[in-house]
Structure 1
Amino acid sequence: MPLDRKHLIGKEAMLLLLHNENQLPEELRKLGWKFCKGKVGSMDGQKVVAAVETAAKNQGIVKTGLYRETHALYHAIIEAVSGVTRGSNQIGTLLRTVGLQFSIVRGNPYQNKEEGEWIAVALYGTIGAPVKGLEHEAIGLGINHI
């Protein structure tokens, strides 16, 4: 069965990230999807990955002891970071810094529930030289099956 076009997981993650109102989380709760938001700023790519991973574990979006869940999250994070960094996942080694907000959404975006759950990570913020005012906006999205 195809995707449920009313509830695309990547779109929901981006809307959650960029939307300021509380209505969207209510829609996600009705779907039974798990989600959270957070912030991270660093010149170290490992800190970006760690911040998103820690939030997902602390909010119960992924189970710490299940490798497949952490692995799926990791790939979604790396894909999102790749979007922010334009394909070169290096930050500090290239004298770049990021200031990002993130959202994580877990759910089943398919009409057939047997398709299982997916996870989406959305990143939005700034990237640039480590000098205030010398950055620009960037956005990234990563989606992976669990």
Structure 2
Amino acid sequence: MGLDKDRRIGRHAILLLLSEDPLHQLSKLEKSNWKACLGKVGSMEAHKVVAAIETAAKKNQIIKTDVYRESHALYHAIIEALHGVTRGQVQLGSVHRTVGLTFAVLRGNPYENEHEGDWLAVSLYGTIGAPVKGSEHEAIGLGINHI
């Protein structure tokens, strides 16, 4: 039942996010029957970050819009990734912080056994800081959840 080291979904989500050539990375993932999308979001409100990622995942058919457990799994992966960006305190505007993030959403089976089913990974990279230009720093986050 092992995790195939070449199919580590979190690693691939981060590589896709940070890639100099995301189209090449996307084509490699598609050959493995994985689905992925990329996007950007900036906000002082965490719910807007969640909504942007959810919308991109639905629009790009990463998750099915009419299956609750898929939206639920995505939500938990997003929140876990936001914990990384916000250092465990998923608060933005209420504590005078803003983010400018690029995100990747990846869906696939990281296991050798196909019956293990699909998992979702959300990776976030960008800046967080006071809502004053030049008062931000880099941050990265990763969330992984099973469907």
1:18 alignment partner in structure 2: 18
Deviation string 1:10-54 (CA, Å, 9 cap, x unpaired) is 000000000021321111010010000000000011100000000
Give the counterpart letter for 1:72 in structure 2. Answer: A
CA RMSD of aligned residues (A): 0.5
Give the counterpart letter for 1:57 in structure 2. Answer: K
What is the alpha-carbon distance in structure 1 between the residues aligned to residue 102 and residue 54 of structure 2?
14
What is the alpha-carbon distance in structure 2 between the residues aligned to residue 99 and residue 119 of structure 1?
22
Deviation string 1:59-88 (CA, Å, 9 cap, x unpaired) is 000011100000000000000000000000
What is the alpha-carbon distance in structure 2 between the residues aligned to residue 14 and residue 51 of structure 1?
18
Unaligned runs of 5+ in 2: none
Unaligned runs of 5+ in 1: none
1:108 alignment partner in structure 2: 109
What is the alpha-carbon distance in structure 1 between the residues aligned to residue 57 and residue 24 of structure 2?
21
The 10-residue stretch of structure 1 (18-27 or 81-90) with the greater mean CA deviation from structure 2: 18-27
1:73 alignment partner in structure 2: 74
2:95 alignment partner in structure 1: 94
Residues matched between the structures, number:
146
Equivalent residues in 2 for 1:1-146, closer than 5 Å: 1-21=1-21, 22-146=23-147
Shift of 1:93: 0.3
What is the alpha-carbon distance in structure 2 between the residues aligned to residue 24 and residue 45 of structure 1?
28
What is the alpha-carbon distance in structure 1 between the residues aligned to residue 117 and residue 145 of structure 2?
11
Give the counterpart letter for 2:5 in structure 1. Answer: R
Give the counterpart letter for 1:3 in structure 2. Answer: L
Question: What TM-score comes out, normalization by structure 1 length?
Answer: 0.99
Question: What TM-score comes out, normalization by structure 2 length?
Answer: 0.98
Aligned residue for 2:89, secondary structure, equals: coil
Aligned residue for 1:105, secondary structure, equals: strand
